[in-house]
Structure formats: structure tokens, C-alpha cells
Amino acid sequence: MSLSTDPVANLPARRVVEAESAVAWHALPPDEIYRRLETSAAGLTSTEAALRLARDGYNVLPEPPRRQLLGIVIGQLRSPLIYLLLGAAALSLGMGEFSDAVFVFLVLAINTGLGTWQEARAEASSAALRSVVQARARARRDGTLVSLDGRELVAGDIVVLEAGDRVPADLRLIASAELRVDESTLTGESMAAEKSAGQPLPVETPLSDRLNCLYAGSLVRAGRGVGVVAATGRATALGQIAAVLEQKQPEPPIIKRLNRFSRTLGLASLALVVAVVGFRLLGGAELRETLFVAIALAISVIPEGLPVSVTVALSIAAGRMARRNVVVRQLPAVEGLGACTVIATDKTGTLTVNQLTAKRVWLPGHGVIAIGGEGLHPEGEFVALDGDHDGRDHAMRKLGRSAALVNDAVYDPALGRRGANGDAVDVALLVLAAKAALETDKLREATPRVAELAFSSERKFAASLNLHAEEHHLHVKGAPEVILPFCAGIDVDAVMAEAEAMAAAGHRVLAVATKAIAAANGDPLEAELHNLVLLGLVGFIDPLRPEARQAVADCHRAGVAVKMITGDHAATALAIARELGIAQTVDEVVTGRDIAAAMGDATALARIAAASVFARVEPRQKVEIVEALRAAGHFVAMTGDGVNDAPALTRADIGIAMGRDGSDAAREAADLVLTDDNFASIVAGIEEGRAAYANIRKVVYLLISTGVAEAAMFLLAMFSGLPLPLGAVQLLWLNLVTNGGQDVALAFEKPEPGLLNRPPRRPSEPIFDRVMIRQTALSGLYMGVVAYGFFAWALAQGIEEAAARDLLLFLMVLFENVQVFNARSETRSAFGVPASNNWLLIAAVVFAQSAQIAAPFIPGLRDVLVVQPIPPAMWLAMLAIALSLLAVMEADKAWARRRPRAA
């Protein structure tokens, strides 16, 4: 065995380095940082770097464990109901009844195959978090700037960054120049953040406001920076997200309900079988005959078709949800979305279109103008809201011309979003210019730039000096409070009031001004920043999706609260929430600082759970919001698109990721993925989730009621001294073949009207509630008693035992055919549910009858089932008996509709 010559190639997996992230690096001056990290501005030596790498390990994130196919298969078999069926199959094998065992194993194989196929198809194949960090980095080693593998960085390295670089580790800036960084992977906000080495910041400064720090996975959009590595690998902010993703997720409610129901059913079945076996043995019955009775009784009460039907119901709903732009990664999440009581959603890209757009312009002398159009499309009308219309178009073109020239972005109107590149504000200004019929490329070619002042966080404005024919024009854009004092001939206070009104409506406001200069005199541009002509104010906003307001209203109608989470300031967030109908007053807004101060305070945590808007929120606080909501008793669905959202998606009861603009990490952490990144699709998912749960209840009702009928029939026959009404194979035929197709087809029922007009059910609500208990008991006992009476009558008429069982089997098939129509709705009449809603169910009923009629004519099957052809007159008589069940249940539903509280 040989070892690599690479000094770090044979290192063990990285251990956790907690100390790196435990220090508030943003609050320390550079000298103290150097001292603590035992480094200097010249960087580390290669020897010291190798020692630290050996101690701390590679700068990589742990790859999350992937689910293997075998693990998915085993997961499908972990259910108390599955254990019951396996026990019955094993007992059948032990008794030599191979046909019984084959039937049970067949249904288990179908269920396992369906569930495995759905979940294996959804498993992602990429390690998303590992792909976020760039492969190469430039660092100072031995006093020289070198390019190295980003995973070899260690705490204390000095890293140099420029536009286009991916930040390879968490850094504390020690030098910067016009640095702007896209931190959307962590903060979720599309606007590039301005960064500066600057002075130390207060310890409590939230991550989104730490101007002197850069975080792994972020992208440098403009400028340059030099930083010292403060944290690597798992100790980075990105690494802490990865650690949260490794924690166990909450168990879906449908799994809890089914497990609880299966345990109850299993114990009841076991108790019944034990009691019957004991009763027969004490009565002197033979052991072998008693075991046959036990197997038959167990098969009658265990709903063998339930696992398949539940899987089919969830798979069908998953398919419908996919057609409505919701892709299901975990089957139980289908029903879980329908149970959610709260949706905690990101604002950017989910409620909004995630494309900064100029929507308002204020022109001196012309008032406020609304800008039509959405996103990066160049179409849009100008609609004057007040002021003088004369000369308005000319004034708008002048503003658009200056905004396009003091601008470094690129925008091709013909390509729309695909043709845009650069700072989001600059791109939005170019779109505004295109709406004013300006051709930016020709404009820039005709008026070349000769000097500029780049935008910076200290300056808060940018300026461009362009040559216009024989003179120079200075074009300036920036914060109104900075630009307005440079302007002449305006009432600064009045214009600031216009800017504040725009800001209060949720807009980010920019002032644009210009000035003609006869000739460039060589003075710095700062010297010309006086007597500017104000061209106007531009208000930018990430527009709401057109369907977002209605979607929020639909959620409220369905009893689902909507909570908006954003990195925006509180005032901006409240303005947007008001427009959406999420919140109305400032009391409904909680900030990131409030959340930080509330930890451990029960009263404050209750206020967090009651809030509707969360502003200036850090990534880790999204997890705390989810936990506070869950602690308040909510079943929480959380949406997100960035790496920063992945931990909250994991902790939420239902995680929903964006599919189009979302990160791989978010999609892997989520249970559901929105392919159109549209909040309205969640509402469609809620409806389908509720429909899936309703269909599962219908299947449970059908299977348990027929099981009760079979058990009642058996017990009555046994205690009255009659022979076994049906054999084990006949019961399996009844449960898995004739009824098996019906219960699967019942899972295809379309959503009933009014599903979104009801409040969500409690997560702890049992599947078998009072309504279902009443209906199951009534229908099951009715079928069981009538079937027993019919069997007793047939024997009393001198009909042979085998022939009586044959008639009884046919009657039970007819009962099941009728009961499936009763099961189509818990409250509506069977005659009120159109057959066209589920033609597959009609086909399943026809198949069940056809199979039973054809069985006596099929060699082999006739002998196994011990059946003979039934005279038409007898078939009609038994049909009339079976239809009496429909009359009984219609009467029950009518009574329940008149007395809802009694239901």
C-alpha cells in the first residue's frame, strides 16, 4: 500500500471546529483578530497551514447521507399493519395453506413496490451544499499570493477576492474597495450587500448587517476585498446550516395516524382471535380446526388492501399535485400539506416575482407616475396619478437617459430575463429606459463615458461623466437624502416627503439628477456635485405575483394562517404584508432582534407565534420561528429557496422548496417542490392534500366496515353452532380480489366541493373518529347480521354447506359493491356523487361482479373457491338484499345532515 505524496491527501475526515464560529469576529479590530488567529497581513507559512489543516481538517461540508434503495424498501415495510399481515402469512405457511400466504405476500409486494418507486424517483443525486463552495481560492502563503484548492484553506489564511469570485470560507474583511456581495444563499435577499472593512460592529449585529464580514457560498458581484479566514467547513454559517439538516425530521401526521390506527386494530384483532381460540379450545374443538378458524378470523378483520390503497391514494394525489406544479419528494407529505395550520413563507420569489422593478416615478412638476408591466419585460405603460401631463413624456425620457448612462448593467429587451446581467437596481433602470422607448446600446455608443464615481456604502451615490456632442454631462443616481442637497431650484423637504411616501409604500427610492458641464477641467467629479438638475425619484419594488393576494385569501378561507418572513426592514415588510392581506398593524410585525431577545422567554415566544410578519430575520432565526409556531400547537409548512432556508425546511412539519429558482440544498431538504415557485400552487396542494386524506378515510371506512361484517358473521355463526360461513381462501378472494379493486379505485375519487371552506383538522385527530365509528358500526353490523341470517336460512332450507357458502360469498360481494357507493362521501347522498367523477370505480364494481360470476366457469379457480353458477333469480334476490344497505345508509346520512352535532 502506498500513500499519496500530497501532505494532506491522507488526512482523516474533518472534525468539528467549534471555536472558530464561537467568536464575534465582526466586533473585533484587525489587530485583535490577527492575535487570536495567530496570523498577520502577510498570511500563514506553508508549514503552519499544513499543521492547521492536519488539526482541523479540510474546508468542506459533510455530505449528507443518501438514502439507498434497500433502505427505502425496508422503510415501506415498517408499519404495524404490515407486521400483522406478515404474521398471518407466516401462520398460513406453517399450516401448509400456501395459497393464503401467496395472496398476502402479493399485496405486500404491490404496496412496497409502489411506495419504493415513488420515493426512489424523488431522491436527488447531487450533494447540494458541497457544490456551493468554489473549488479554487487565492490566499497569501509565505508572503506570496498563490492559487490553491479551496478545501485547503485554514483559519488565519489571508484570502484575496474580486468580482466573480465565490467566497470560499467565512472571512473578516481587513481591506475593501467598492465591494458588493450577493449573500442570497444565506439571507435570501436578491439585492447585493455593500461590504466594507470599516470599524468593528456591535456584538449583537445580525448576520445580514455585518458589513465587515463575508460568508462562505456568497458571490462577489463588484469590487475587491481582502479578508482573514475566521471559520472553515462545518464551523461556517453554511456549515451550521448543514449540521441542522442532519437532524431528524418530524413524523408526518398520516404516518402517526396510520400507526396509531394499526396498533389499535392489531391489538383488537389479537384480542378477538385469542378469545375465539380460547373459547373453542375450552369447548373441546380440535387444535388444527381452531387454527383454521383463527386464520380465517384474522384475515376477515385485517384490512389487507389498506397499505396498497393508502399508497395509491397518496400517489394519485401526488400525480394531481404535480400537474398543479407541486412535486412530491416524500409521499406522506401529500396529506401533511392538507393538515397544515400555518404557512411560513419567504417573501422574495414566492409571494413576489423576485425581479426588482421600477413601479413609481416622481417627476418635478408632473407628479407621481405609475409604471406598468412586470419584471424584466420591456412592455409597460406610464399612467399619471397626479400633476401636469404636458411635457411628461419628455421628462420621463430625460430621466431614463441619465439612469441608463450612470449604469453598468446589461439588458437586451428582446431576451428579457435571459438578457439581463448586473446589479438588480441598474437592470431595473434599464428596463425603465426601454419602456420610455430608449435604446441603451445606441445611447451609450453616442455618449461615451469619460469618468465615473462608483457606488459605495460610504458615498451612497454613483456618478458618470459622459460626452454629449461638444459638452460633457454629469449623470448622478443615489439615495435621495444624499442627492437632493446637491440639486438647485427644489424644495428639499417637499421632495423628501415624496420619497418618504414612496418608501412607506414599500418602495426602495433612488434620486436621479444631471448637470451640463461646458468642458472637462480636470477637477475631480466630486467638485461638480452642485447645482444639479433633479430629474426625478424612482421607486423600486419586487412586485407581488398577480395571484398572490387571492392565494393568501384562499388560505385564510381554508383556516390556514400565512406568515411572511423577509430580510426587509419592518416598515417595508408591513407595507407589502398589508397589500397581501397578511397583516394590517405594526403590532403584527416581529423583527430579528425581537426574536433574539425572546429566546427563553415564554411570553415573548408566544408573541412570536402570534405575529404575521417577520422582518430583518437571520437564517438561523427561521428555525426558531418554526419551533415557536410548533410549540404553539401549529402544524407548520415552511417555504424557501436558498441554502439559508434548508434548516427551517427540515424542521418544519412540511418543507416546501422552490423548483425553478431554488437551490439544490433547499430542494433536498424539502418534502415538496414548487416547479413554478408560485405561492398559489401551495393552495392547490392543500386542496389535493385534504382530498387525499378524505380518500384514505373512505378506503378505511370501506375496508373496516366490510371487516366488521365478516367478523360479526363469523362470531354469530360460531356462537350459534353453525359451521364456518366462509373459508380462508374465500375470504382472501373477497378481500383482495373482488373488494381489492374497489378500494384501490376509491382512492381515485376527485376532491369533494368545499374542501377549502373547512378549517384544517387537528394533527392529532384520529382517522377513526366518531362519525366513522357510527357509520362503520351501523353498516358493518347490518351486513354481518343480514349475511348470517341468510347463511342460517340457506342451511335451514337443506342447502348443502358448500353451496350455502357459495351463496353467502356472492351476497358479500354484492354488499361490498353497494358499500363502495356509500363510502364515496361521508355526508353526501350516494346519488349526489356523479358517476363521471370516478369511472374507474364503476369499472372496479363491474369487474368484481364479473369475476364472481365467471369464477364457477374457470377450471382450477372453481375448485379453490368451491363455487357453482348462481341462478339469475337468486342473484336478483340477493341484489335486492344488498340494496337494502343503501337505503339504511342513506337514511343515516339524511339524519346526520339534519342534526350535524349528532354526527
Contact 657, 640 (CB under 8 A): yes
The residue type at 371: I
129, 478, 666 from 645: Cα distances, Å: 12, 32, 6
In 485-532 the beta strands, taken as DSSP E runs, fall at 508-517
DSSP of 334-363, one letter per residue? Answer: HHHHHH-SEEEEEIIIIIB-S--EEEEEEE
Q: What are phi and psi of 689, to 5 degrees?
A: -65, -40
The residue type at 614: F
| Cell digits of residue 749 | 375519487
Q: CA–CA separation, 272 vs 298, rounded Å?
A: 9
Q: Which residues of 143-157 are buried (b: 16+ CB within 10 A; e: fewer)?
A: eeeeebebbbbbbbb
| Cell digits of residue 774 | 357510527
Which among 173, 101, 565, 107 is positioned nearest to 350, based on CA atoms?
565
81, 101, 119, 368, 646 from 76: Cα distances, Å: 11, 19, 10, 61, 26
Q: CA–CA separation, 99 vs 195, rounded Å?
A: 74
Contact 476, 483 (CB under 8 A): yes
Contact 584, 616 (CB under 8 A): no
| Cell digits of residue 138 | 487565492
Beta pairing, strands 342-346 & 636-640 = parallel
Contact 697, 826 (CB under 8 A): yes
Q: Which residues of 597-632 are buried (b: 16+ CB within 10 A; e: fewer)?
A: ebeeeeebbeebbebbbbbbbbbbbbbbbbbbbbee
DSSP of 555-623, one letter per residue? Answer: HHHTT-EEEEE-SS-HHHHHHHHHHHTS--SGGGEEEHHHHHHHTT-HHHHHHHHH-SEEES--HHHHH
Q: CA–CA separation, 87 vs 265, rounded Å?
A: 14
- Strands of the sheet containing 461-468, edge to edge, are 382-384, 367-371, 357-363, 533-541, 508-517, 471-478, 461-468, 449-453
Taking each helix axis as running N to C, give the angle between helix 679-719 and helix 332-339, from 0 to 180 degrees, rounded to the nearest 10.
Answer: 110
Q: CA–CA separation, 706 vs 882, rounded Å?
A: 13
Which among 555, 513, 566 is positioned nearest to 349, based on CA atoms?
566
Question: Where in the sequence numbering do the catalytic residues fall?
Answer: 346
**Which residue intervals of 138-252 are DSSP H helices?**
184-187, 237-245
Q: CA–CA separation, 640 vs 346, rounded Å?
A: 6
For cell 460610504, name the residue: 458
DSSP of 745-795, one letter per residue? Answer: HHTTPPPPTTGGGSPPPPTT--SS-HHHHHHHHHHHHHHHHHHHHHHHHHH
| Cell digits of residue 485 | 442637497
Q: Which residues of 257-278 are buried (b: 16+ CB within 10 A; e: fewer)?
A: bbeebbeebbeebeebbeebbe
Contact 29, 197 (CB under 8 A): no
3-state secondary structure of 807: helix
Q: Quick one: residue 57, left, alpha or beta (phi over 0 = left, psi -120 to 50 = alpha)?
A: left
The residue type at 803: A
